[in-house]
Amino acid sequence: MAAQINPSILSADFARLADEAKAVEGADWLHVDVMDNHFVPNLTLGVPVVESLARATDTPLDCHLMIEAPDRWAPQYVEAGASSVTFHVEAAAAPVRLAREIRAKGARASMALRPATPIEPYEDLLPELDMLLIMTVEPGFGGQAFLDIMLPKIRRTRELIRKHGLELWLQVDGGVSADTIERCAEAGADVFVAGSAVYGASDPAEAVRALRKQAEE
Ligand code: DX5
Ligand code: ZN
């Protein structure tokens, strides 16, 4: 699969979300970080903002739920217009049921692992998912330094995906930039979330193109 770049609107200007979404048209997805100040120590946005964003842009929304009780909330993000919904396995009560529900509602189902959460206990769940997200920072904030210690986990996960012959996308999120994206791609990631590396650039659309090119080299 060609590399996909998903700009994270966490690094955008929240008072100008529609314009900020348009500034990265040409990106594969728009990454929307939902934080509840419980699962992570930060608070961002919820269902009504996702509904408005879905109306404001043609770029499909990749909603990353950093919230408690995703079993209860994730289906509402599909209804709000998300095309992909990621829940954290550490917060989900019933990840298999939840992934099936997200798919049944018509979105791609994705599961995220915090840096300290291993992939191995979840090997048998992989066929239930359309994407797996390996966090390369502790979730909660944009602009943190990439955790190199996650590279072996990316490699092991790519190996499991291969072993099972799955179509699963492997996403990395946190500290992805011109300095780190090649290491992620080499380890086996194919979907790259970038917040500050895109919205911190003078031309965000050009930053998306440059990152994609680097990831594909
Ligand atoms: C962090 C979020 C990320 C964040 C990444 O918890 O999940 O999506 O926006 O920001 P950068 O790319 O700046 O690390
Ligand atoms: Zn995210």
Catalytic residue among 33, 36, 62, 190: 33
Binding residue per annotation — 106?
no
136 Cα–ligand 1 center, Å:
9
pLDDT of residue 1: 77
Give the integer Cα–Cα distance in Å for 101 and 175.
31
The CATH T-level fold of domain 4-216 is TIM Barrel (3.20.20)
Binding residue per annotation — 81?
no
pLDDT of residue 204: 98
Tell me which amino acid residue 1 is: M
Per-residue pLDDT of 16-33, as tens digits, reads: 999 999 999 999 999 999
Q: Is the interface score ipTM higher than 0.95? A: yes
Residue 81 sits at φ, ψ, to 5 deg, of 120, 5
C-alpha closest to that of 92 among 102, 84, 105, 104: 102
Give the integer Cα–Cα distance in Å for 192 and 211.
9
Tell me the pLDDT of the chain (217 aa) as tens digits: 789 999 999 999 999 999 999 999 999 999 999 999 999 999 999 999 999 999 999 999 999 999 999 999 999 999 999 999 999 999 999 999 999 999 999 999 999 999 999 999 999 999 999 999 999 999 999 999 999 999 999 999 999 999 999 999 999 999 999 999 999 999 999 999 999 999 999 999 999 999 999 999 8
- CB of 140 shorter than 6 A to ligand 1: yes
Per-residue pLDDT of 108-144, as tens digits, reads: 999 999 999 999 999 999 999 999 999 999 999 999 9
Answer yes or no: pTM beyond 0.90. Answer: yes
Strand partners, 171: 133, 191
Catalytic residue among 28, 62, 173, 190: 173
- CB of 184 shorter than 6 A to ligand 1: no
